[in-house]
Amino acid sequence: MTNPHWQTDVATRRIERRNAAERRFKLLGLGAIVLSLAFLALLLFIMLKNGLGGLDWDFLSGTDSTSPDVAGVWGATKGSLLTMLVTLLLSFPMGVLAAIYLEEFAPKNRWIDLVEVSINNLAAVPSIIFGLLGLAVFINTLDMPRSSPLVGGLTLALMTMPVIVISGRNAIKAVPPSIRDAALAVGASKVQTVFHHVLPLALPGILTGTIIGMARALGETAPLLMIGMRAFVVTPPGGVTDPSSVLPMQIFLWSDEIDTGFVQNTSAAIIVLLVFLLAMNGIAIYLRNKFEVRW
Amino acid sequence: MILTGVLLAVIGLGLVGWFAARGRARLLYSGRGSMHSMPNYHGWHMALWIIVPALIAWTAWSAIMPGLVDGVVMADPAAASLPADAMHRNAIMAEARTLAANPDAAAFNPEARTIAEPLRAATTRYGLIGALIIGIVAFAGGAFGFTRIRPDFRARTHVERAVLGLLLLASLMAILTTFGIVASLLFEAGMFFKDVSPIAFLTGTHWSPGNAIGTDIDDNFGAVPLFWGTIYIGAIIAMVVAIPLGLMSAIFLTQYASHRVRRWVKPILEILAGIPTVVYGYFAALTVAPIIRDFGATLGMANPSTESALAAGLVMGVMIIPFVSSMADDALAAVPRAMSDGSLALGATKSETIKKVLLPAALPGIVAGVMLAISRAIGETMIVVMAAGAAARLSANPFASMTTVTYQIVQMLTGDQEFNSPKTLSAFALGLVLFIVTLVLNIIALRVVKKFREAYD
């Protein structure tokens, strides 16, 4: 069995060397992962260390203030919720309808190619550009109330819609053609097939994508900075046209404060924001695992 | 106020129409095959006939009503005392509008109070006229829809055509958004380039918009230091961190890790991409920047600044890791199994196969992924706003404070200056440059990825 050429000193040493290189390479890969995860752990640890002490009921129910001891996040949280509501109400129906059209009905022509290219590009356009769009169109041209959840939600909806369209198309594509054929064969029209059979089956996937898009919108700061949502707002907004702040903006504003008491507030607000995001992603993963069908 | 109520009333009417038409269609139903469409479709058909024309009327009326109201108010004797200056007059009108909606509101101009009353009267009158017109349209549409309910009427075909129109409209939103971005950036940047020559903007090396007054305006809008800062932080420092770490993580996870490890580690790694950028920015400013400043001091740096290109770039790099990693993951997965199997069968070790066969084969995909990562890094805003600093300088010193395009956009638009000053408009010119650069990077990268996929399919 054994080849005498492999038993020489030279050959053994070469194999040793190659095996050592193999181990080094593997360790390098492991090191890269450990380093990335260590950074994540450090970030979370520092935020928890600085912020946990500040998390109490007064903080969760209070509103912004110039004094770190009485400042709270409820005003910003409510602003975030209102903004997200506007974003969801606009981007979800729009995104789902556009995905259905592009996947099921669109003819192959140049216009549709243009739509596809612009959706793919919009998903990669820096968020700050959407802020510039919101400022130029919603505030300067249409004269909508500055710093309101309405304008913030509209801007974020434009940003979120491509994400929903892309994930929606993938979910619709994953529904096997046999389902469509079966519905068409018993006499359903094309529209009935899509709305009664394809859409319900694709819905878990679409919802997962929507939640992930919404989570991204919830953490977004830059476009909202452009449309002036950095006001100092003491009373929580009562409606979508009242001036308000949002959670990430509150974090940004507090991080600028010189008073060291705000370090705790900022970190605590970050914990609140991360808890929201974690919950949303958790729901998305749960939906995916529970309803995903492998055909 | 009245118009909002009208909108709700129209929707309510549509609901009533839906039930009425469905009920009527049910009465016509006399057995299997007696009707072309199900009663529900007759309901939808009628509801559409009520709501769509009324909505069109509503939109049209909302657009023309303010003009009509203003006309009446201007003709009122109380408006005679208003100043002729358009800007001042608009301010008073805006105040009067607030007063008309809420009489207890505060007003700075006494004129606003005098015209608030005629304004309210005119608003109410035109609101009622509008409500009447919209109501007539809704009823006419509904009546027309109702008369069409017959057993052989193809309600389903009509409703489905409307649904298709709606779907098409939704997908056109994407084009509309792109068009809106391009148009608004071009328009505002065009105003800026009326004052500042584009060549001076793109090639000048001195950036201090604060001093920009008078004739030397061109000299203060040289954006090269901003471009350099953006490239240095986003495309150099961040990539030096993100490419090795992301690529090695992808290699380890796809080639070495067991299935179980991969299933747990990958989602945890993805958390890095899900953390909001403002959190990274705070972390960079609070934790990373002081460490780097102290490190700079031990290197013998004379008075290193807290804000440094290195702090921003490092943290940005970490943020991009999962992105590079998942792009590399896809690229490696697209390489046919036979290629690595062939190399392994010849006796190459796993790492030799990866280095000599897999990586070269996956290179186009990886390069495209890196381009997308760069496009994301240079558009990143919050990290640089919080950690990179405001000093526009051309320097290769990573410990120096450096500014970027996105930082300056934020800076120019969050101050308190009037909207049409060159300083404010410069933000849109910078935005235009950013948009074009990221667009080009994305288009090239997406094309490379597509070609690369086809090559191995």
Helix (H) or strand (E) holding A27: helix A9-51
Is residue A126 located within the same domain as residue A24? Answer: no
Give B151 to chain A, closest Cα distance, Å. Answer: 19
Helix (H, G, I), strand (E, B) or coil at B207: strand
Which residue, A243, A250, A245, A253, is CA-closest to A271? A250
Q: Is the pLDDT of residue A95 over 90?
A: yes
Task: Kindly provide the ipTM of the predicted complex, given to two decimals.
Answer: 0.89
Q: What angle do CA A206, A207, A211 make, to 5 degrees?
A: 120
**B284 token code pair:** 């960079």
Radius of gyration, alpha carbons of chain B: 32
Is residue B216 located within the same domain as residue B285? Answer: yes
* A94 with B172: Cβ contact below 8 A: no
**B139 token code pair:** 């009823």
Helix (H, G, I), strand (E, B) or coil at B8: helix
Give B176 to chain A, closest Cα distance, Å. Answer: 9
Of B172, B174, B282, which has the smallest distance from its Cβ to A266's Cβ? Answer: B282
H-state helical runs in B235-286:
238-251, 259-274, 277-283
Q: What is the pLDDT along chain B (457 residues), one digit of tens a residue?
A: 677 888 888 889 889 988 888 888 888 877 777 788 888 888 888 888 888 889 899 889 888 887 888 787 777 776 666 666 666 777 777 777 777 776 666 666 677 777 777 778 888 888 888 889 988 998 888 888 888 888 888 888 888 899 999 998 888 888 888 899 999 899 888 888 888 888 888 887 778 776 656 566 667 788 888 888 889 888 899 999 999 999 999 999 988 888 898 888 888 888 888 899 999 999 988 888 888 888 888 877 766 677 788 888 999 999 999 999 988 988 888 888 899 899 999 989 999 999 999 999 998 889 999 999 999 999 888 888 888 877 777 777 778 788 888 888 888 887 665 666 777 888 888 999 999 999 999 888 888 888 877 777 6
- DSSP letter at B77? G
Cβ atoms of A106 and A283 within 8 Å: the answer is no
In a domain, B174, yes or no: no
> What mean pLDDT is predicted for residues A163-189?
92
CA dihedral A41, A43, A45, A51 (to 10 degrees): -150
| Residue-range definition of the domain harbouring residue B41 | 2-153
* A125 with B181: Cβ contact below 8 A: yes
**What is the C-alpha separation between A154 and A91, in angstroms, rounded?**
9
Question: HSE on the CB side for B414, CA within 13 Å?
Answer: 20
With CA atoms as reference, the chain A residue closest to B181 would be: A133
Is residue B124 located within the same domain as residue B269? Answer: no
* B252 with A101: Cβ contact below 8 A: no
User: Which amino acid, one-letter code, is at A40?
Assistant: L
With CA atoms as reference, the chain B residue closest to A43 would be: B283
Is residue A14 located within the same domain as residue A88? Answer: no
User: Which amino acid, one-letter code, is at B235?
Assistant: A
Is residue B317 located within the same domain as residue B451? Answer: yes
Is residue B215 located within the same domain as residue B298? Answer: yes
* B163 with A125: Cβ contact below 8 A: no
Is residue A196 located within the same domain as residue A102? Answer: yes
CA dihedral B196, B199, B205, B210 (to 10 degrees): 10
Residue B335's CATH number: 1.10.3720.10
Residues in chain A with CB shorter than 8 Å from the CB of B177 are: 118, 122, 133, 158, 161
Q: What angle do CA A139, B282, A225 make, to 5 degrees?
A: 5
Is residue B289 located within the same domain as residue B402? Answer: yes
Within an 8 Å CB–CB cutoff, is residue B428 touching chain A? yes
Helix (H, G, I), strand (E, B) or coil at B387: helix
In a domain, B137, yes or no: yes
In a domain, B166, yes or no: no
Is residue B259 located within the same domain as residue B113? Answer: no
Which residue, B140, B131, B133, is CA-closest to B50? B140
Give B396 to chain A, closest Cα distance, Å. Answer: 25
The Cα-based distances of A190 to A199, A283, B291 in angstroms read: 12, 32, 62
Within an 8 Å CB–CB cutoff, is residue B174 touching chain A? yes
Q: To the nearest whole number, what is the mean pLDDT of chain A?
A: 86
With CA atoms as reference, the chain B residue closest to A162 would be: B174
Question: HSE on the CB side for A262, CA within 13 Å?
Answer: 16
Query: A191-204 as b/e, with b when 16 or more CB fall inside 10 Å?
Result: bbbbbebbbebbbb
**A292 token code pair:** 């995903």
Collect contacts of B354-360 with beta carbons under 8 A, ≥24 apart.
Answer: B354/A25, B354/B251, B354/B255, B355/A25, B358/B255, B358/B332
Is residue A33 located within the same domain as residue A120? Answer: no
Cβ atoms of B290 and B306 within 8 Å: the answer is yes
* A31 with B248: Cβ contact below 8 A: yes
Is residue B128 located within the same domain as residue B224? Answer: no
In a domain, B285, yes or no: yes
pLDDT of res. B212? 58
**What is the C-alpha separation between A210 and A164, in angstroms, rounded?**
5
Taking the CB of residue B446, how many other CB atoms lie within 10 A of it?
A: 17
**What is the C-alpha separation between B353 and B361, in angstroms, rounded?**
11
Taking the CB of residue B263, how many other CB atoms lie within 10 A of it?
A: 10
* A222 with B172: Cβ contact below 8 A: no
* B171 with A162: Cβ contact below 8 A: no
**What is the C-alpha separation between B116 and B54, in angstroms, rounded?**
30
* A277 with B160: Cβ contact below 8 A: no
Within an 8 Å CB–CB cutoff, is residue B57 touching chain A? no
Residue A214's CATH number: 1.10.3720.10
Question: HSE on the CB side for B354, CA within 13 Å?
Answer: 21
Taking the CB of residue A242, how many other CB atoms lie within 10 A of it?
A: 18
* B279 with A135: Cβ contact below 8 A: no
Q: Which of A14, A16, A221, A229 would best serve as a mutation to test chain B binding (most B beta carbons within 10 A)?
A: A221
Is residue B354 located within the same domain as residue B250? Answer: yes
Is residue B241 located within the same domain as residue B331? Answer: yes
| Residue-range definition of the domain harbouring residue A153 | 59-291
Of A30, A93, A220, which has the smallest distance from its Cβ to B252's Cβ? Answer: A30
**A232 token code pair:** 């100092």
* Helix, strand, coil shares, percent, chain B, to 5: 80, 0, 20
* A118 with B178: Cβ contact below 8 A: yes
Helix (H) or strand (E) holding B203: helix B198-203
**What is the C-alpha separation between A287 and A281, in angstroms, rounded?**
10
**B268 token code pair:** 């945890």
> What mean pLDDT is predicted for residues A29-57?
88
Within an 8 Å CB–CB cutoff, is residue B172 touching chain A? yes
* A263 with B286: Cβ contact below 8 A: yes
Is residue A17 located within the same domain as residue A89? Answer: no
In a domain, B303, yes or no: yes
Q: How many domains is chain B partitioned into structurally?
A: 2
- DSSP letter at A140? I
Question: In this predicted model, what pLDDT tens digit does every residue of A174-183 receive, in sequence order?
Answer: 899 999 999 9
Is residue B104 located within the same domain as residue B221? Answer: no
H-state helical runs in B299-355:
309-334, 337-345, 350-353
pTM of the model: 0.86
CA B389 to chain centre: 25
Q: Is the pLDDT of residue A1 over 60?
A: no
**What is the C-alpha separation between B307 and B401, in angstroms, rounded?**
5
Of A31, A115, A267, which has the smallest distance from its Cβ to B174's Cβ? Answer: A115
Residues in chain B with CB shorter than 8 Å from the CB of A218 are: 276
Is residue A74 located within the same domain as residue A44? Answer: no
Is residue A71 located within the same domain as residue A188? Answer: yes
* A161 with B174: Cβ contact below 8 A: yes
Within an 8 Å CB–CB cutoff, is residue A136 touching chain B? yes
* B351 with A22: Cβ contact below 8 A: yes
In a domain, B107, yes or no: yes
Is residue A162 located within the same domain as residue A94? Answer: yes
Last residue of a domain, one of B88, B120, B153: B153
**What is the C-alpha separation between A261 and A254, in angstroms, rounded?**
10
Is residue B259 located within the same domain as residue B371? Answer: yes
Which residues, including other chains, have CB under 8 Å from residue A273's CB and lie 6 or more apart? A218, A219, A247, A248, A251, B276, B279
Within an 8 Å CB–CB cutoff, is residue B431 touching chain A? yes
With CA atoms as reference, the chain A residue closest to B168 would be: A101
In a domain, B379, yes or no: yes
In a domain, B413, yes or no: yes
Is residue A83 located within the same domain as residue A9? Answer: no
The Cα-based distances of A31 to A28, A253, B318 in angstroms read: 5, 36, 14
CB within 8 Å of chain A, chain B residues 345-384:
349-352, 354-355, 372, 375-376, 378-382
Within an 8 Å CB–CB cutoff, is residue A39 touching chain B? yes
CB within 8 Å of chain B, chain A residues 73-102:
93-95, 97-98, 100-102
Query: B403-441 as b/e, with b when 16 or more CB fall inside 10 Å?
Result: bbbbbbbbbbbeeeeeeebbbbbbbbbbbbbbbebbbeb
* A274 with B267: Cβ contact below 8 A: no
**What is the C-alpha separation between B393 and B383, in angstroms, rounded?**
18
Is residue A149 located within the same domain as residue A231? Answer: yes
Place of tokens 């010189």: A258
pLDDT of res. A295? 66
Cβ atoms of B264 and A28 within 8 Å: the answer is no
Q: Is the pLDDT of residue A2 over 70?
A: no
Q: How many domains is chain A partitioned into structurally?
A: 2
Last residue of a domain, one of B153, B170, B201: B153
Q: Which of B279, B324, B444 would best serve as a mutation to test chain A binding (most A beta carbons within 10 A)?
A: B279
CB within 8 Å of chain A, chain B residues 216-245:
244-245
**B308 token code pair:** 């440094």
Is residue B136 located within the same domain as residue B259? Answer: no
**Which has the higher per-residue pLDDT, B394 or A2?**
B394
With CA atoms as reference, the chain B residue closest to A169 would be: B171
Cβ atoms of B451 and B364 within 8 Å: the answer is yes
CB within 8 Å of chain B, chain A residues 225-254:
225-226, 228, 230, 248, 251-252
Within an 8 Å CB–CB cutoff, is residue A122 touching chain B? yes
Is residue A41 located within the same domain as residue A146? Answer: no
CB within 8 Å of chain A, chain B residues 250-309:
251-253, 255-256, 265, 267-269, 271-272, 274-283, 285-287
Query: Please, what is the end-to-end C-alpha distance for chain A in angstroms?
Result: 48
Is residue A78 located within the same domain as residue A47? Answer: no
